Amino acid sequence: MGQERRFAARVLALGGVVGPVQFVWITILCAVLRPGYSHTHHFVSELGATGTAHAWVMNYLGFVAAGLLLCCFGLSAGAMVQPGRGALIGPALVTIFGLGVALSGLFSCDPGCPRANGSTQNLIHDRLAPLTFLAGSLGPVFLGLHFRRLPHLRRLWLYSVASGALGLVLLAAVASSLESRELTGLWQRLLLAVLFSWCATVSLKLFHAPGDVASSA
């Protein structure tokens, strides 16, 4: 990888830090502006529900902005840790995760989501959510298995696999709470915390990695 491309990839990698930070502070801001909103029981998506106050802030400054930054991180990871099958599938899944986050802002849910009967936009949003989190959980697993081959990233392989596995467990917890809506928001936030923490950790490691990570395989 040439010097200019390596520098560009390093800068894009920081999307894994900036994206989550952007999403978190916008979520906190919008929750403060929404009376009666509960981080424990409500989905983050409800802050951007169609027709609700300040929805555009959550959707465009939160979901879309953070999602595009996460896409940058995924693309950077793909450029910096090739070759290898895990280095293709993992970054692709991380990029899909970012894309899903961005699209969740463009296709917002109806108030009270998830709802079995709602608008077409709501239906798209509800279909996107599980696929987005599934990709975000599997991406770290595939990349973690590939990290074992890279000296500068080997220390992250167990952490990556564990993060992905925990993400899948928390995704199942979210799904199991949908009927009762008890602690749904808490499970979702724990899931996001795991995935965002992994993105930030790997992002900083890629940014500071000496030379071309791919050449270390």
- Condensed to tens digits (0 to 9), the pLDDT of residues 190-214 reads 999 999 999 999 999 999 876 555 5
Q: Is residue 216 situated within a structural domain?
A: no
Q: Is residue 45 situated within a structural domain?
A: yes
- Residue 147, token pair as written in the block: 């990290």
Q: Is residue 57 situated within a structural domain?
A: yes
Domain count for the chain, please give it: 1
Q: Is residue 134 situated within a structural domain?
A: yes
198 within 8 A of 160, measured Cβ to Cβ: yes
Containing domain of residue 183, as a range?
3-211
Distance CA 144, CA 153 (A): 9
22 within 8 A of 61, measured Cβ to Cβ: yes
184 within 8 A of 43, measured Cβ to Cβ: yes
pTM of the model: 0.93
Q: Is residue 101 situated within a structural domain?
A: yes
* pLDDT tens profile 53-92: 999 999 999 999 999 999 999 999 988 886 666 578 999 9
* pLDDT tens profile 115-134: 778 899 999 999 999 999 99
